[in-house]
Chain A
Amino acid sequence: MTAATGIGARVLRTEDKRFLTGTGRYVDDLPLARATYAYFLRSPHAHAKIKSLDISAAAKMPGVVNIFTGKDLVDAKVGGLICGWVVKDKHGEPHKAPAHPVMAVDTVRYVGDTVAMVVANTYDEAKDAAEAIKVDYDVKPANIDLAKALDKGAAQVHPEAPGNLIYDWEIGVKADVEAAFAKAAHVTKLDLINNRLIPNAMEPRAAAAEYDKGTGNYTLWSTSQNPHVLRLILSAFVLGIPEHKLRVIAPDVGGGFGSKIFCYADETMVCWAASRVGRPIKWTAERSESFQTDCHGRDHVTHAELALDKDGKFLALKVETIANMGAYLSTFSTAVPTYLYATLLAGQYTTPLIYANVKAALTHTAPVDAYRGAGRPEATFVIESIVSKAAAEMKIDAAELRRKNFIPSTAFPYQTPVALQYDSGNYPPIIDEAMKIADYKGFEARRAEAKSRGKLRGIGFSSYIEACGLAPSQVIGQLGGGVGQWESAQLKFNPTGNVQILTGAHSHGQGHETTFAQLIHDKLGVPMDQIEVVHGDTATTPFGMGSYGSRSLAVGGSAIMKAADKIIAKGKKVAAHLMEASVADVEFENGMFKVAGTDKSVPLAQVVFAAYVPHNYPHADTEPGMDENAFYDPANFVYPAGTQICELEIDPETGTTEIVAFTAIDDFGNIINPMIVEGQVHGGIVQGVGQALMEGAVYDKNTGQLISGSFMDYTMPRADNFPSFKLGYKVTPCPHNPLGVKGCGEAGAIASPAAVMNAVHNALAPVGVKHVEMPATPLNVWQSIQGAQRQAAE
Chain B
Amino acid sequence: MSISVAMTVNGKPASGKVEARTLLVQFLRENLGMTGTHVGCDTSQCGACVVHVDGKSVKSCTILAVQAEGAKVVTIEGLAASADKLHPMQEAFRENHALQCGFCTPGMVMSAIDMVKRHNYQLDEATVRRELEGNLCRCTGYHNIVKAILAAAPAMKSAGV
A binds B: yes
- CA of A508 to CA of B106, assembled, Å: 16
Say yes or no: is B7 at the interface (Cβ < 8 Å to chain A): no
Q: Which of B52-60, B63-71, B130-138 is near enough to bind chain A?
A: B130-138
Say yes or no: is B129 at the interface (Cβ < 8 Å to chain A): yes
Chain B 1-45 residues near chain A, CB threshold 8 A: 19, 21, 29, 33-43, 45
A21 touches B86 (CB 8 A): yes
The digit string for A1-42, where 1 denotes a CB below 8 A from any CB of B, is: 000000000001101111111111110110100000000000
The digit string for B60-102, where 1 denotes a CB below 8 A from any CB of A, is: 0000000000000001110110000010001001110101111
Given A12-B94, A21-B77, A22-B75, A711 and B105 contact (CB-CB distance below 8 Å): no
Say yes or no: is A253 at the interface (Cβ < 8 Å to chain B): yes
B94 touches A679 (CB 8 A): no
A202 touches B137 (CB 8 A): yes
B129 touches A15 (CB 8 A): no
Which A residues form the contact surface with B (CB < 8 A)?
12-13, 15-26, 28-29, 31, 124, 200-204, 252-255, 257, 284, 286-288, 508-511, 675-676, 678-679, 682-687, 710-712, 716-720, 722, 724-725, 748
- Candidates A201, A717, A719; contact of B101 at CB < 8 Å: A201
Say yes or no: is B103 at the interface (Cβ < 8 Å to chain A): yes
- Candidates B42, B137, B138; contact of A710 at CB < 8 Å: B42
Q: Which residue of A lies closest to B93 (CB)?
A: A20
Q: Residues of A contacting B95 with CB < 8 Å?
A: 12
B141 touches A720 (CB 8 A): no
A180 CB to closest chain B CB, in angstroms? 40
B145 touches A202 (CB 8 A): no
7 tightest CB-CB pairs across the interface, nearest first? A22-B36, A19-B102, A254-B103, A509-B101, A682-B141, A711-B45, A686-B141
- CA of A200 to CA of B126, assembled, Å: 26
Q: Residues of B contacting A287 with CB < 8 Å?
A: 40-43, 46
Given A22-B37, A711-B46, A724 and B100 contact (CB-CB distance below 8 Å): no
A20 touches B105 (CB 8 A): yes
The digit string for B100-140, where 1 denotes a CB below 8 A from any CB of A, is: 11111110010000000000000001101110110111111
A19 touches B141 (CB 8 A): no
Q: Which residue of B lies closest to A718 (CB)?
A: B133
Q: What is the number of contacts between chain A and chain B, taking CB atoms within 8 Å? A: 181
A746 CB to closest chain B CB, in angstroms? 13
A221 CB to closest chain B CB, in angstroms? 14
A28 touches B136 (CB 8 A): no
A135 CB to closest chain B CB, in angstroms? 22
Q: Which residue of B lies closest to A256 (CB)?
A: B101
A17 touches B94 (CB 8 A): yes
- Candidates B75, B93, B139; contact of A509 at CB < 8 Å: B139
Main secondary structure of the interface of B (DSSP, over half): loop
A19 touches B138 (CB 8 A): no
- Candidates A25, A255, A511, A719; contact of B138 at CB < 8 Å: A255
Q: Residues of B contacting A19 with CB < 8 Å?
A: 99, 101-102, 105
B104 touches A679 (CB 8 A): no
Q: Which residue of A lies closest to B142 (CB)?
A: A719
- Candidates B37, B105, B132, B138; contact of A201 at CB < 8 Å: B138
- CA of A17 to CA of B100, assembled, Å: 12
- CA of A675 to CA of B37, assembled, Å: 26
Say yes or no: is B146 at the interface (Cβ < 8 Å to chain A): yes
Q: Which residue of A lies closest to B94 (CB)?
A: A16
B101 CB to closest chain A CB, in angstroms? 3
Q: List 10 A-B contacts (CB under 8 A).
A: A19-B102, A21-B80, A254-B103, A255-B100, A288-B42, A679-B139, A682-B140, A684-B141, A685-B141, A711-B46
- CA of A717 to CA of B135, assembled, Å: 10
Q: Residues of B contacting A719 with CB < 8 Å?
A: 128-130, 132-133, 135, 142, 145-146
A286 touches B101 (CB 8 A): no
- CA of A82 to CA of B107, assembled, Å: 37
- CA of A710 to CA of B44, assembled, Å: 10
Q: Which residue of B lies closest to A725 (CB)?
A: B143
A22 touches B35 (CB 8 A): yes
Say yes or no: is B153 at the interface (Cβ < 8 Å to chain A): no
Given A287-B41, A509-B139, A718 and B132 contact (CB-CB distance below 8 Å): yes
Q: Residues of B contacting A16 with CB < 8 Å?
A: 93-94, 99, 102
Q: Which residue of A lies closest to B41 (CB)?
A: A287
A589 CB to closest chain B CB, in angstroms? 31
B38 touches A255 (CB 8 A): no
B76 touches A722 (CB 8 A): no
Interface centre among A678, A687, A724 (most CB of B within 10 A): A724
- Candidates A12, A203, A685, A687; contact of B103 at CB < 8 Å: A203
Interface centre among B36, B129, B139, B144 (most CB of A within 10 A): B139
- CA of A749 to CA of B65, assembled, Å: 40
B141 touches A712 (CB 8 A): no
Say yes or no: is B152 at the interface (Cβ < 8 Å to chain A): no
Given A201-B138, A287-B43, A724-B146, A20 and B94 contact (CB-CB distance below 8 Å): yes
Given A253-B101, A679-B100, A722-B129, A22 and B138 contact (CB-CB distance below 8 Å): no
Q: Residues of B contacting A683 with CB < 8 Å?
A: 100, 138-141
Q: Residues of A contacting B35 with CB < 8 Å?
A: 22, 25-26, 28-29
Interface centre among A16, A25, A676, A719 (most CB of B within 10 A): A719
B145 touches A23 (CB 8 A): no
A719-B130, A720-B130 given; name 14 further pairs at CB < 8 Å: A18-B102, A21-B79, A24-B102, A31-B33, A124-B19, A201-B103, A204-B40, A255-B139, A679-B141, A683-B141, A685-B141, A719-B128, A722-B143, A725-B143
- CA of A686 to CA of B145, assembled, Å: 13
Interface centre among A21, A675, A683, A684 (most CB of B within 10 A): A21
Q: Residues of A contacting B50 with CB < 8 Å?
A: none
B80 CB to closest chain A CB, in angstroms? 6
Q: Residues of A contacting B46 with CB < 8 Å?
A: 202, 287, 711
B45 touches A509 (CB 8 A): no
A714 CB to closest chain B CB, in angstroms? 10
- CA of A446 to CA of B129, assembled, Å: 24
- Candidates A124, A717, A724; contact of B21 at CB < 8 Å: A124
Q: Residues of A contacting B109 with CB < 8 Å?
A: 20
B38 touches A203 (CB 8 A): yes
A265 CB to closest chain B CB, in angstroms? 20
Q: Which residue of B lies closest to A711 (CB)?
A: B45
Q: Residues of B contacting A13 with CB < 8 Å?
A: 94, 97
A584 CB to closest chain B CB, in angstroms? 44
- CA of A26 to CA of B34, assembled, Å: 12
- CA of A683 to CA of B46, assembled, Å: 17
- Candidates A22, A31, A678, A725; contact of B106 at CB < 8 Å: A22
A722 touches B40 (CB 8 A): no
B142 CB to closest chain A CB, in angstroms? 4
Q: Which residue of A lies closest to B126 (CB)?
A: A720
- CA of A26 to CA of B106, assembled, Å: 13
Q: Residues of B contacting A20 with CB < 8 Å?
A: 76, 80, 86, 90, 93-94, 99, 102, 105, 109
- CA of A720 to CA of B144, assembled, Å: 13
- CA of A18 to CA of B86, assembled, Å: 11
- CA of A361 to CA of B26, assembled, Å: 42
Q: Which residue of B lies closest to A204 (CB)?
A: B40
Q: Which residue of A lies closest to B136 (CB)?
A: A716
Q: Which residue of A lies closest to B107 (CB)?
A: A202
- CA of A748 to CA of B77, assembled, Å: 33
A687 touches B34 (CB 8 A): no
- Candidates A204, A254, A508, A676; contact of B97 at CB < 8 Å: A676
